[in-house]
Amino acid sequence: MLAAAGPAAMCPEYDGLVLFTDYYGEGLNEVADKVRASTSRKLVEKPYPRDLKEWLRLAAVEYPYDEWTAVSRFSWRSLRKAWRCVRDYMNPPQQEPEEEAPREKAPREKRVRPDSDFSTCVAAFLEGRVIVHPHGVAVYEDGRWTEVTRQDGLHRVLKRAALEIFTVDYEPKLQVKHGKVAIERCASPWHRVKAHDFLTSLRMEVSVDLAGDEPAFNGNRHLLAFANGKVYDFKRRQLVDAHPGMLMKWQVPWPMEELHSKSMREYRAVVSDIVRYWRESKPSRPDLQVVREQLDDDEAEPRMLHLGKADLLERYTAAAKGLEYTRTRLRALRNNVDTLIYKELGRTPTHQLELV
C-alpha cells in the first residue's frame, strides 16, 4: 500500500493509511484507486475533516461529554509568558567564569517572586477540575465533584498540583539496567514548593483565577455514577468513564463493570437470535416452550397450541445458567424460560408481544 501510494502517503496508522493530495488539491481519487488495487483487503474511505467546524462537529459526536465550545480563560501567549518567568525564577542562569566580567544580577533570594505567574500556571493546570464559586470550592476527584473548604481543601489540591508541575531537572545519570545502558533524568519538586508561605500565597492567587459561578450539579438525570469512576448513560445505553463535564456529585456506593466474559457473549448471541426469530418468522406465539391447552378435566389430554422453538430454548437455558443473575432468576421462576424472557424484556406473560 505504501509503495502504491508513493509520495502521496502521509503515514501508516493502526487502521489504515493517510493520503495527501498534490499541490493543487487534486489526484486523491487516483491514488486511492491505486492503493485499493494493490491489496486484496477490503478498504473503506474515511475522509478527514476539511475545516475546524467540521472537526469540532465530528469530535462532539465521538466525545459527547466534552464542552467543545468552551474557551479557556488563559490564552496560550499569556501562559507561555508565565511559564518563561517561572522557569527563569526557578532555574536562574549560572554565574559566568571568573575570567569574564560577571553580569550584575541579583541573587534569587533578593529577586521579586512572580506570584501571579505561578498562579497562572497552576490555575491553567487545574482549570475544568476546580471551581471557586461564591458558596465554596468544587473539586473533581475520583470520578465526581466534591465540595471542599477554601482553606484546607483548596490548600491540599494546590499542594498536590504544585508538587507535580513545578519540578527541577538535575543532571542525567548514566546507568546499566538489565544489561542495557540507560539514561535516567532525575526530576525533583522545586524546594520552594514545600514552603508553607509559598503555598499560602499561591492559594490566595489561584482562588481569584479560578473564581466562577456554581454550575448546576446533578442536572443530567439520564446519567448514573458509580463508586469506581464509571457512569451509565441511559440515553446511549453505555457504561462510560466519568467525566468532569457530567457535573456529577451523587454516586452509587458500589462499583459497576461491564461483563465481557464468554458466558455473557453467549447470552447476548442467543438473545439476538431469539429477537431475529420473532421478527423474521413471526410465530403465532413468542413462546420458546411447548404451550398446551389448559383444561379443568385432569383426565383429558390437553391440545397442543404451540410447538415452541426447541433449539433456541436449549441454547437460552444453557446461556442463562452460565450467569449468576439469570441462573438465580430462572431458579426463582421454577425453570420457566418464557417467563424469564418476558420479565427481562419488561413484559408480563399476559402481554401481547408486538413483532416489528
Structure confidence by residue, pLDDT tens digits, 189-240:
888 888 888 999 999 999 999 999 998 999 888 999 999 889 999 988 888 8
Cell numbers 493502526 correspond to what residue?
Answer: 14
C-alpha cell recorded at residue 335: 425453570
pTM flag (> 0.85): no
Residue 246: burial class (beta carbons within 10 Å; 0-12, 13-18, 19+):
buried
Rounded Cα distance, 31 and 349, in Å:
60
- The confidence score (pLDDT) of residue 145 equals 93
- The confidence score (pLDDT) of residue 217 equals 92
Sheet bearing 223-225, strands edge to edge? 223-225, 230-233, 238-241
Domain boundaries, the chain: 2-48, 76-92+115-209, 216-257, 262-344
C-alpha cell recorded at residue 180: 542495557
Q: Which residues of the chain are under the pLDDT cut of 50?
A: 347-356
- The confidence score (pLDDT) of residue 356 equals 33
- The confidence score (pLDDT) of residue 354 equals 39
Structure confidence by residue, pLDDT tens digits, 73-89:
999 999 999 999 998 88
Rounded Cα distance, 155 and 194, in Å:
12
